[in-house]
């Protein structure tokens, strides 16, 4: 009897797994999701468009790989060079800028490398390198990682040659922040992930405001010519919605502890 | 069923393990009727001989021949082990199992197993786990399970070795009933009283050979070789 | 230590309020793991029994490989299943990636060697007991396998529960092939990973305690059911 019961139970579970309304899958970066903005936008999208957007929260590199394989219908990421290459290779039909936020440098509250007074982001990194203060790098091909590498290039330093103070953890933003806290290390984060991060301890936001830390998010629909199964029509409606005034109000109005996190800068067509 | 699977003939048959001959070469015939008792000291090859006849051991030399093709003969015989092998089921499930294996419908198998359980005196224990039975009850269960398909021949390897007198008498009664119903019996035993009571034929085994055989009523008393006489007297024979 | 206490409080709060998201992901955890274990048992138990009963040339090697696969890293399984189910992979047309079905597939692969190995171990012992009897009764090979599986069912339950333990606590494979999508493929372990990622350690720990409690509850339930069966049937 037990056996029959188990099989019936399993069948019910299997069947229940299938049914759902119109859905599309979008690969987004950790920073976008961790900011909490998706919790505001997704219910609004479901109300306005009747569209259930399923988010795959990954680094920019993996998001683009998912798009290339056709495993998602669109990607929302922040790494301009990689995005343009993605469009140029024909994996996405186009790239549409939606909004931006910025990166910030986080470190131990007493700021042993003294980056708070730096004149620019590159200089702040140079101070960390010269002090040999521990620094945690995402090291995961994400948009944040790309930006960090660009800053080191601007500072004419090559992370390949760094000593043990430079720790590449190969994981997401939250894991990197957890590691940085445990090691009393500096790290670079997007502002949203930092503000939402729940395990700050005595870490503090030490440097921000350099225009080079500007972080543009763009929406790239996967090319249906490459992957005929991708959901083009819902993808277009989502893009229209993201660039609409409705989205502008929601995105610009989203604050954490009084700070605005994102600035909508999409051009209406 | 058409015709008996007997006689069974062993032609220079031997069992080997790791280069040693455990039994044989043996030439013998088990005719259609009677009760054959196999006696002999420990290590003389009684168990190996029974297992060879039943097909649990392969003949490394010689042949084991039945009156019918082997595949058919294999399904019309049964074996009761010295330590009964109990399946992890209740009494009824154990007794019914050979019927289920040979395609008897579940309800019918259950009914016939219950009949057999009553016949061997386990009528009160149908739903008990086999593992909870006493030594005598275990052998009765093994007997019922062996007899339920009414085999042409039943092999028993010292079925009463660890039983008291009462249990032994009960087992013997079941064997006599089976014999009268037409089942040929071949049994190894250490109990000379039991041998005397049941035997119509005796094989005395020594060092893997049938040292002496005797048949007919009172066959045990007809064993004449000095080794057999010594063994029957209770001397140590090797 | 303070955070462990906070974790316990978070777990208590989630359970006491029957948090809707929690019940949803807990139910999905059960759905995926139970289904995977049922399938893994249907595959692994007969395989284990078959390997115990049959003698063939490569038997030892097959058993060695099976035992080694018990330690299969789930991340590798996840990666392989991902590549197979990806739209660009051989089974892409079925559109199974990022669904509970994909998670079940990955977990079946992770769990089957474990179930098969433990089943093989248990059945081998039973087969040593039964060998002469089942040969004597002239059973076919499939009848032997069936008798061993049925009579060994109580020890096989242990194999299934071990498989369940591995499945319900597994995160590497289902993260990759499920994608941890809210309201679609999020389960307890991936939710724990996510909350850890967000730095919400107390909530992550709370979910962890819920996971442990769930695993214990399932074990107790199964053991109670199997005892009830014994009492009523024999």
Interval A32-86: pLDDT, tens: 888 889 999 999 999 999 999 999 998 888 899 999 999 999 999 988 889 999 9
Q: Are residues A244 and A116 in the same domain?
A: no
**Does an interface of 3+ CB pairs under 8 Å exist between C and A?**
yes
Q: Which residue of B has its CA nearest to C143?
A: B101
Subunits with 3+ Cβ pairs within 8 Å of B are C
Structural domain contains residue A39: yes
Q: Which of C30, C181, C225 sits opposite A2 (nearest CB)?
A: C225
Domain span including residue A166:
105-213
Q: Which of A9, A14, A174 sits opposite C197 (nearest CB)?
A: A174
Structural domain contains residue A246: yes
Structural domain contains residue A8: no
Domain span including residue C190:
2-233
Quick one: pLDDT band at residue B6, thresholds 50, 70, 90?
confident
Q: Is B200 on the interface with C (CB under 8 A)?
A: no
Is residue B231 within 8 A of residue B44, CB to CB? The reply is no
pLDDT surpassing 80 at residue B194 = yes
- Out of A228-232, B87-91, B171-175, pick the least confident: A228-232
Structural domain contains residue B63: yes
Quick one: pLDDT band at residue B2, thresholds 50, 70, 90?
low
- Give the predicted TM-score (pTM) of the model: 0.82
Q: Is C31 on the interface with A (CB under 8 A)?
A: yes
Q: Are residues A132 and A202 in the same domain?
A: yes
- How many distinct structural domains can be found in chain A? 2
Q: Is A149 on the interface with C (CB under 8 A)?
A: no
**Does an interface of 3+ CB pairs under 8 Å exist between B and A?**
no
Backbone angles phi, psi at B71, to 5 degrees: -55, -40
Higher pLDDT, B113 or A2: B113
Are C184 and A54 an interchain contact pair (Cβ–Cβ within 8 Å)? yes
Q: Is C100 on the interface with A (CB under 8 A)?
A: yes
Q: Given this model, what pLDDT does residue B237 score?
A: 81
Local confidence pLDDT in tens for the 234 residues of chain C: 677 888 888 888 888 888 888 899 999 999 999 999 999 999 999 999 999 999 888 999 999 999 999 989 999 999 999 999 999 899 988 999 999 999 999 999 999 999 999 999 999 999 999 999 999 999 999 999 999 999 999 889 999 999 999 999 999 999 999 999 988 999 999 999 988 888 888 888 889 999 999 999 999 998 888 876 554 443
Low-confidence ranges of chain A (pLDDT < 50): 1-3, 5-20
Q: Are residues A86 and A36 in the same domain?
A: yes
Structural domain contains residue B126: no
CATH of residue B55's domain is 3.40.50.300
Rounded to 5 degrees, what angle do the CA atoms B227, B233, B237 make? 40
- How many distinct structural domains can be found in chain C? 1
**Partners of residue B127 in chain C, C-beta under 8 Å:** 234
Structural domain contains residue A10: no
Q: Given this model, what pLDDT does residue C228 score?
A: 60
Structural domain contains residue B190: yes
Q: Given this model, what pLDDT does residue C232 score?
A: 42
Kindly provide the b/e burial profile for residues B112-147, where b requires at least 16 CB atoms within 10 angstroms of the residue's own CB: bbbebbebbbbeebbebbbeebeebbbbbbbbbbbb
Closest CA to A193 of C195, C181, C202, C198: C198
**Partners of residue A52 in chain C, C-beta under 8 Å:** 183
Structural tokens at position C99: 């669904």
Closest CA to C169 of C146, C188, C151: C188
Are C234 and B81 an interchain contact pair (Cβ–Cβ within 8 Å)? no
CATH of residue A142's domain is 3.40.190.10
Q: Are residues A42 and A175 in the same domain?
A: no
Q: Which of C130, C137, C151 sits opposite B101 (nearest CB)?
A: C137
- How many distinct structural domains can be found in chain B? 1
Domain span including residue B29:
8-85+152-233
Rounded Cα distance between B63 and B45, Å, is 17
Structural domain contains residue A14: no
Q: Which of C180, C198, C203 sits opposite A34 (nearest CB)?
A: C198
Is residue B199 within 8 A of residue B172, CB to CB? The reply is no
Structural domain contains residue A16: no
Rounded Cα distance between A139 and A191, Å, is 18
Q: Are residues A57 and A127 in the same domain?
A: no
In this predicted complex, what is the ipTM? 0.92
Domain boundary among A213, A230, A252: A213
Q: Given this model, what pLDDT does residue C200 score?
A: 84
CA atoms within 13 A on the CB side of B103: 2
Q: Which of A10, A69, A175 sits opposite C38 (nearest CB)?
A: A10
Domain boundary among A213, A229, A252: A213
Domain boundary among A213, A234, A249: A213
């Amino acid at each position: 009897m037990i056996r029959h019961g188990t099989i019936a139970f399993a069948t019910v579970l299997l069947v229940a797994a299938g049914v759902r309304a119109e859905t599309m899958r979008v690969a987004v970066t950790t920073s976008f999701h961790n900011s909490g903005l998706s919790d505001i936008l997704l219910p609004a999208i479901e109300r306005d468009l009747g569209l259930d957007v399923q988010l795959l929260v990954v680094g920019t590199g993996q998001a683009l790989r998912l798009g290339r394989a056709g495993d998602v219908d669109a990607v929302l990421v922040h790494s301009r060079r990689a995005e343009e290459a993605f469009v140029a290779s024909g994996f996405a039909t186009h790239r549409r800028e939606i909004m931006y936020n910025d990166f910030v440098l986080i470190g131990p509250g007493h700021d042993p490398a003294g980056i708070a007074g730096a004149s620019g982001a590159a200089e702040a990194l140079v101070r960390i390198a010269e002090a040999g203060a521990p620094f945690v790098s995402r090291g995961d091909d994400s948009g944040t990682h790309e930006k960090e590498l660009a800053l080191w290039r601007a500072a004419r330093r090559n992370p390949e040659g760094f000593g043990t103070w430079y720790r590449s953890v190969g994981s997401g933003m939250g894991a990197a922040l957890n590691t940085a806290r445990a090691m009393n290390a500096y790290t670079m984060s997007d502002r949203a992930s930092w503000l939402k991060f729940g395990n700050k301890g005595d870490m503090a936001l030490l440097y921000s405001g350099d225009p080079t830390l500007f972080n543009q998010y763009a929406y790239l629909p996967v090319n249906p010519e490459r992957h005929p199964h991708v959901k083009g029509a819902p993808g277009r409606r989502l893009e229209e919605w993201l660039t609409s005034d409705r989205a502008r109000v929601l995105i610009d109005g989203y604050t954490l502890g009084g700070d605005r996190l994102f600035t909508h800068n999409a051009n209406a067509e | 069923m058409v015709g008996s699977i007997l006689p069974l003939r062993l032609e220079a048959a031997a069992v080997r393990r790791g280069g040693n001959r455990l039994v044989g070469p043996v030439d013998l015939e088990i005719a259609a009727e009677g009760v054959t008792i196999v006696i002999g000291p420990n290590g003389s090859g009684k168990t190996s001989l029974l297992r060879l006849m039943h097909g649990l051991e392969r003949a490394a030399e010689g042949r084991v021949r039945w009156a019918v093709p082997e595949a058919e003969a294999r399904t019309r015989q049964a074996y009761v082990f010295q330590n009964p092998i109990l399946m992890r089921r209740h009494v009824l499930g154990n007794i019914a199992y050979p019927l289920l294996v040979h395609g008897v419908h579940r309800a019918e198998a259950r009914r016939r197993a219950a009949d057999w359980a009553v016949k061997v005196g386990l009528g009160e224990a149908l739903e008990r786990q086999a593992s909870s039975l006493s030594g005598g009850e275990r052998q009765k269960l093994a007997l019922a399970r062996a007899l339920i398909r009414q085999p042409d021949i039943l092999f028993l390897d010292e079925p009463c070795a660890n039983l008291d007198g009462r249990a032994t008498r009960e087992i013997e009664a079941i064997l006599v009933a089976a014999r009268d119903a037409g089942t040929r019996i071949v049994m190894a035993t250490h109990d000379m009283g039991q041998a005397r009571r049941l035997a119509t034929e005796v094989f005395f085994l020594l060092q893997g050979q049938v040292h002496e055989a005797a048949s007919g009523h009172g066959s045990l008393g007809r064993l004449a070789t000095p080794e057999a006489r010594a063994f029957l007297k209770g001397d140590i024979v090797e | 230590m303070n955070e462990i206490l906070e974790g316990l409080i978070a777990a208590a709060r989630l359970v006491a309020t029957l948090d809707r998201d929690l019940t949803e992901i807990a139910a999905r955890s059960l759905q995926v793991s139970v289904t995977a274990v049922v399938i893994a048992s249907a595959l692994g138990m007969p395989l284990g029994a078959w390997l115990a009963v049959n003698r063939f040339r490569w038997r030892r090697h097959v058993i060695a490989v099976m035992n080694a696969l018990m330690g299969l890293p789930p991340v590798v399984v996840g990666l392989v299943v991902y590549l197979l189910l990806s739209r660009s992979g051989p089974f892409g047309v079925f559109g199974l990636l990022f669904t509970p079905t994909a998670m079940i597939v990955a977990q079946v692969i992770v769990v089957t060697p474990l179930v098969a190995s433990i089943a093989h171990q248990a059945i081998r012992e039973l087969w040593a007991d039964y060998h002469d009897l089942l040969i004597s009764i002239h059973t076919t090979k499939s009848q032997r396998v069936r008798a061993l599986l049925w009579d060994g069912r109580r020890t096989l339950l242990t194999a299934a529960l071990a498989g369940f333990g591995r499945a319900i606590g597994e995160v590497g494979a289902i993260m990759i092939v499920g994608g941890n999508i809210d309201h679609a493929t999020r389960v307890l372990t991936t939710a724990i990973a996510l909350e850890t990622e967000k730095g919400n350690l107390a909530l992550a720990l709370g979910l962890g305690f819920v996971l442990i409690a769930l695993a214990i509850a399932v074990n107790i339930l199964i053991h109670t059911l199997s005892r009830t069966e014994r009492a009523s049937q024999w």
